[in-house]
Amino acid sequence: MPYYAVASGFETGVFRHWTQVKPLVDGYSKPVFKKFNDEESAKQFIRNNSMSSRVVQTRRYGTLGRVESGTVSSSVSTTKKNSTCTPLQVEMKLNSLNMSYNFEDWRTVEQEIKWENHLISSDQKIEIYCDGAAKNNGKSNALAGYGVYIKDLSPKGISVAYDQISIDKLKPTNQFMELYAIRHALMIIFSSLEHCKRYEGKTSIKILTDSQFSINCLTVWYKNWESNGWVNTAGRPVIHQQCVRDCLKLIDSIKDSVILSIEYVPGHSGFLGNEVADRLANIACDSMSSRIC
């Protein structure tokens, strides 16, 4: 069995299965990874290629001037023709990236990430559709997952089942899956900003979801949760807080580099991107069923 070394990605290390590798490089800008026949060669590859500290490069312009109800928005403060962005090293410690995916072969991984390197490359408008699904919603035997679809850019959508996510191991619901989908979209944007030196201007990105719950979490409710130490009005810990906090941290890091909005789109109303994301979420549920049933 081969060994897979990930020297630069959302997480680094040596892995034995392809399914462990894809989430670590999927959406990460300029990942460094390679397959080996022995463990020591894989470890040496990581030593030779790893950054001195585990950080991710992106732009950052200060504190979070976060969110009016229903939208998260900001804009680049200057559009001078000769302006370039200066990436700073920003530590993003996300505990929720230990996911795994169904994965065909190594070549598929390499092909899958290439398009993401060009996600933010010019003055353009990007739409990212997110959706979540859960069968037997909220029960211990629920089958759940999420889908992410980038309109006109992604060669295929992203489909992730709940049993492949190492975060908030609770009874899954479709609402929580919607949040995880948004988090994945933000991770892709965050990583793609490493390429900001290659273009001038600003990119407009809409994250579209049919979950008003998720929008409220990221635009309204989080304010009280932060003030109250992430305890809800019933005096209990916010059960999906890690995902929400990951999303807020990502928004904080990208908000000044792009024009970002998180907007509501009606579900099952004929919006193609939403229908595709919904289908991807249901595919994730089916893939979970095939593994545990």
Closest by CA to 257, choosing from 50, 72, 5, 53, is: 72
- In the chain, the percentage of residues whose pLDDT exceeds 90 is 20
Query: Residue 168 carries which side chain, given as an amino acid letter?
Result: D
**Mean pLDDT of the 35-60 span:** 64
Higher pLDDT, 205 or 13: 205
Distance CA(93)–CA(130), nearest Å, equals 23
Position 156 confidence tier, pLDDT thresholds 50, 70, 90: low
Count how many Cα atoms sit within 13 Å of the Cα of residue 160 in the half-sphere of its side chain.
Answer: 31
User: How many CB atoms neighbour CB 87 within 10 A?
Assistant: 17
User: How many CB atoms neighbour CB 79 within 10 A?
Assistant: 11
pLDDT value at 181 more than 90: yes
Confidence (pLDDT) at 137: 74
| CA dist 250 → 12, 94, 115, 118, 161 (Å) | 19, 9, 21, 19, 22
**Mean pLDDT of the 42-52 span:** 74
- The CATH 3.40.970.10 domain(s) of the chain lie at 3-49
**Mean pLDDT of the 64-84 span:** 30
CATH of 3-49, one of 3.30.1280.10, 3.40.970.10, 3.90.1170.40, 3.40.50.150: 3.40.970.10
pLDDT value at 87 more than 90: no
Cross-strand partners of 57:
89
pLDDT value at 65 more than 70: no
List, for residues 194-230, the tens digit of each pLDDT value.
555 444 556 788 999 999 999 999 999 999 999 999 9
Confidence (pLDDT) at 10: 67
Burial class of residue 169, CB neighbours in 10 A (0-12, 13-18, 19+): exposed
pLDDT value at 61 more than 50: no
Position 146 confidence tier, pLDDT thresholds 50, 70, 90: very high
Distance CA(74)–CA(261), nearest Å, equals 8
Helices 174-192 and 241-254, packing angle to 10 deg = 30
CATH no. of 87-290 = 3.30.420.10
Q: 157: alpha, beta or left, given left = phi > 0 and alpha = psi -120 to 50?
A: beta
List, for residues 265-281, the tens digit of each pLDDT value.
988 777 888 898 999 99
The model carries a pTM of 0.63
pLDDT value at 98 more than 70: no
Dihedral sign, Cα of residue 293, residue 279, residue 118, residue 67: negative
Query: Residue 35 carries which side chain, given as an amino acid letter?
Result: K
Report the relative pairing of strands 143-150 and 158-161 from DSSP bridges.
antiparallel
